[in-house]
Amino acid sequence: MTTHAIIVAAGKGHRAGGDIPKQYRTVDGKALLRHAIECLQAHPAIDGVTVVINPDDRTLYDSALTGLALPTPVAGGATRQQSVLNGLEALAASPPDIVLVHDAARAFLPATVIDALFAALDDPANDGAVPALPVVDSLRRGGRHFETSVDRDGLFRVQTPQAFRFAALLAAHRASAPGATDELAIAMAAGLRVAVAAGDERAFKVTEPQDFAKAEAMISPALSSRAASGFDVHRFGPGDHVWLCGVRIPHSHGLIGHSDADAGLHALTDALLGTIAAGDIGDHFPPSDPQWRGAASDIFLAHAAGLVRAAGGNIDHADITLICERPKIGPHRDAMRARVAAILDIDVARVSVKATTTELLGFTGRSEGLAAQAMASVRLPA
């Protein structure tokens, strides 16, 4: 018996908020759609997964699913019903025995739900099976005030994936009238016999903005927060520019250092290394090693960020303070924040760059050099 899954991911998900469709927003570092696909691909009884998308979102799709083995996505339609039919028609030339239709927004599908669907379809009397949870809350009908009670006996909350014998579902879809909300409605209208299978609360549908926090809390391990600081100093010397926070700034002098002497990135590199107790920048990139002569400091910062992620950590925030009389930092602050965010692969809202002086006191006050201090905060497995 062959089994194929179709994931419907062509909608816009406006109720979930955000600047992009919700299926491409991330939870624990992965797009919702990728979570959904990986759950299905991990089940040994599922032979393949096809995704139905809005063609306008192809760039988001490719970025979110890098590295996954998938067939070319199918173009969706104006409605969920049409999108599913497009997915079914794409499989019709080489049809599977069983098809599962799943929503990308139900991204955290336990294998036990899939097992329950297959168990129900082992009975030849069933044309399909749908996971559902019994309604346990009291139900009332009303407007401004409660009016009548609703008997909850025999009421269910329906989930996905919804599993059917492929030929039966394709025929039902082809004959269905517009306006169906899901495959269960289409199957029932066609007279198919659909069994109730055990659902799971973990297969909830991400619908509202707060559902992302719920999902994050559900799947993320217990984390602890750590913060560490870094500090760096470089002298001015001959040159016509300096590198600060990854940005080249024209200046009357350069900065002296074995690498590009980017004090801002050096300080932040040490701060990140400190969060995982991994020594300092000199331990990883010794100034005595000629390969680092003149090296771009973004290499150092990216290395430190990689070590944090290898330890299971997420970078929450980076804060850099540049201490100098000159050059002026303000005109370059936005570019610096953007560059640091790009190196760390985090949102620019998580990066702060500030500047101050020492009121003409000390070596920075005499413009002999500049200094930088940085703070980094990360979340790591407890």
**102 and 163 together in one domain:** yes
How many C-beta neighbours within 10 Å does residue 132 have? 18
pTM score over 0.75: no
CATH code of 267's domain: 3.30.1330.50
**134 and 205 together in one domain:** yes
pLDDT at 275 > cutoff 80: yes
**210 and 231 together in one domain:** no
Q: How confident is the model at residue 42 (pLDDT cuts 50, 70, 90)?
A: very high
In the chain, at which residue ranges do the beta strands (DSSP E only) sit?
3-9, 26-27, 30-31, 48-53, 74-75, 98-103, 128-134, 139-142, 146-150, 156-158, 162-165, 194-198, 223-237, 241-244, 247-250, 254-255, 314-323, 351-356, 369-381
**117 and 164 together in one domain:** yes
Report the interhelical angle of 166-175 vs 80-91 (nearest 10°): 130
Residue 116: alpha-carbon gap to chain centroid: 28
The average pLDDT across 246-268 equals: 97
**375 and 280 together in one domain:** yes
Domain boundary (185, 219, 253) is at 219
**199 and 248 together in one domain:** no
- Helix, strand and coil content of the chain, in percent to the nearest 5, comes to 35, 30, 35
User: How many domains does the chain contain in total?
Assistant: 2
**138 and 271 together in one domain:** no
Domain boundary (219, 247, 275) is at 219
Whole-number pLDDT of residue 381: 82
**194 and 283 together in one domain:** no
**Structural domain of residue 232, as residue ranges?**
223-381
pLDDT at 279 > cutoff 80: yes
pLDDT tens track for 305-332: 999 999 989 999 999 999 999 999 999 9
CATH code of 63's domain: 3.90.550.10
The average pLDDT across 129-152 equals: 92
The average pLDDT across 268-282 equals: 97
Whole-number pLDDT of residue 184: 97
Q: How confident is the model at residue 222 (pLDDT cuts 50, 70, 90)?
A: low
pLDDT tens track for 369-379: 999 999 999 99
The average pLDDT across 342-355 equals: 94
Report the interhelical angle of 263-275 vs 298-310 (nearest 10°): 10
pLDDT at 221 > cutoff 70: no
**248 and 207 together in one domain:** no
**274 and 169 together in one domain:** no
Domain boundary (151, 184, 219) is at 219
**52 and 79 together in one domain:** yes
**60 and 174 together in one domain:** yes
The average pLDDT across 160-185 equals: 96
pLDDT at 285 > cutoff 70: yes
